Amino acid sequence: GRAVPPAVLPGQVAQEVALDVQVGHYALERRALPVVEPEDGTQTMAPAAPRDEDADLIAAAAAGPAGGRSSSSSKGGSCSAAATESLARSNLLRLETAELVREATLRVSPAENRRGGEARWAPSARRYVDAVKEAVTGLGGATLGPEAAAFPPAESDSKKKGRLYRVPLESDKHVKVARSSKRGDAANAGWTFPFAGGGSLDVVPVGSFGADGSAGLAARHANGGVVPVLDLAVLFEGGDGGFAGGKDYLNHRYTDKRNILAVHVARQLSQKKHRKSIGEVHLCQVFGDARKVGLLLTPPDEEPGKKDSKKKKRKRGGEEAKGGEKKAGKLRFRVRLIFGVRPTVGADLGDDDDSDASSPGLESWIPPSRLLPDRRNNRPLRSKGDDEEEEDDEAGPASWTPHYTNALAEDLHLVRTSDLVDSTIATLTPDSGGSTPFHEALLLLKVWSLQRGLLRGHDAFTTTTLAAVLVYLYRTKAVGRRVGRVWGHLPVRPWLVPGGGRGPVDARR
């Protein structure tokens, strides 16, 4: 059951590392590696290819036209293969990858980092995160329901479309209330639930921002031209007496509660009193899932204390404007709020993957058996009777809901996933700057996935998913602890793309 590292031609690795890291409008200027050395001593630089090349394609490209001359002899192919193989063993490949990792690495720690190497704007990011935590935990209690996520009623659309909501609401309780309101049934008053306030919430750094050494966090020019996003998990209590409990895991009840809470928090943070400290607040989809609603916070664009160097500025029309005004600062980061469930620590349980370590067992109000992939947690709404009584998981694979169940489990283990990454990093030996082969391999893997459109999309991979797969390969000894950055990320490719991203892909697989 362990993953076997794929057989990769050394010259292919040289071509992979030499690719231009072109994502969006920003690029790391990488020069192509010399792969052909003709008899006249001139070197032909191989152009950067946007996709992986198969072994035979690399050999054919190396044996192709060089310096205006065409050669298809086997002698030229063998020379090019020998050149690429010697290149893979040389220090040039190491220097190229080291430069790529150095320019793409970004470190921003939630706490003050004494090891150094952080971004210059890291202190301002920590101050902004503290302001967000203070604003979220200072919210008051309220009684929430679908009305908290509804748009203001419009007279023109009330008869045609009904009530519109800012987030998708699909739970059976909401559907029952909507149907009864259309029939004019006054007995079904509505679906509401209490929110205890910000004191019942925990705001914890997760993802790359919460990992040791900011594992997976990339600079803007290596991140597709996208400003780095720092993830914060807003955790609420689950179980009896909590925000979510009972059988809320059935029929989108939990997801509706979470999304309604996200809209409520967004409205509170958008108030005028938080505008100067929080900035802009927008609803967003988390991990490309429309059922998962989060908040994307953009810090204020003004940096207090900075003024124009010139006293006066002359406009194009000849008029003069007074200087000394506040200067808009460059946007360095954004913060994303992901809503989930606070983990409950149970008894200590042995770790199956590592016999010499132990980890605390996590309990949840959701029965563990309901989180198996062959369970049906979304059931059809019945007109009579209670849909919670019948267990119809035996209806067949067509009735199972593995994606919905995985989304539930993902919210339960937001913090636990970060702990797994940290525990794996702790077993590796860092360099003088605090970086480990895990950090470098994950960064190369992120750039490789971003070039091929495997990130930031519906049902696409995330940086946390890539880190989890890499953790699994480390813990199952598929990747050694002494493996370098280049060979450390190669075994992960077969998990992402059939064939490891090399050669043609069989659509039937």
Phi, psi of 220 (to 5 degrees): -65, -40
Residue appearing with tokens 């780095």: 228
Q: What contacts 437, CB < 8 A, 6 or more positions away?
A: 428, 481, 482, 483, 484, 485, 488
Question: What's the pLDDT score for residue 243?
Answer: 92
CB-CB contact of 30 with 48 (8 Å)? yes
Tokens of 365: 């109000």
DSSP 314-347: E-TTS-EEE--PEEEPPP--EEEEEEEE--EEEE
Do 236 and 243 touch, CB atoms closer than 8 A? yes
User: Measured between alpha carbons, how far is 27 from 500 in angstroms, rounded to an integer?
Assistant: 24
- Here the tokens at position 13 are 């690795």
Pick from 438, 403, 398, 441: which is nearest to 421 by CA? 438
Distances (CA, A) of 296 to 197, 200, 440, 461: 21, 21, 27, 19
| Phi, psi of 50, rounded to the nearest 5 degrees | -75, -10
Q: In whole angstroms, what is the distance from residue 418 CA to residue 467 CA?
A: 9
Per DSSP, the residues of 404-467 read HHHHHHHHHTHHHHHHHHHHHHHTSPP-TTS--HHHHHHHHHHHHHHHTT-BSSTT-B-HHHHH
Tell me how far apart the alpha carbons of residues 465 and 216 are, in angstroms, rounded to a whole number.
Answer: 11
Q: Pick from 431, 489, 436: which is nearest to 212 by CA?
A: 436
Q: How far apart are the first and last CA of the chain?
A: 18
pLDDT tens digits, one per residue of 292-317:
999 999 999 765 445 544 444 555 55
Q: What SS3 state is found at 187?
A: coil
Q: What is the DSSP string of 81-142?
A: HHHHHHHHHSHHHHHHHHHHHHHHB----SS--SS----TTHHHHHHHHHHHHHHHHTPPPE
The residue type of 370 is: R
Give 214: exposed, middle or buried? Use CB within 10 Å, 0-12, 13-18, 19+: buried
Cβ neighbours of residue 381 under 8 Å, at least 6 residues apart?
A: 172, 175, 176, 251, 387
**What whole-number distance in Å separates Cα of residue 487 and Cα of residue 379?**
46
Cβ neighbours, 10 Å, residue 250: 19
Query: Among 414, 424, 419, 413, which Cα is nearest to 475's?
Result: 424
Domain ranges of the chain: 10-104, 118-304+326-411
Q: Which residues of the chain have pLDDT under 70?
A: 1-81, 84-85, 87-89, 114-115, 154-162, 181-189, 302-329, 345-362, 381-395, 484-509
Helix (H, G, I), strand (E, B) or coil at 287: coil
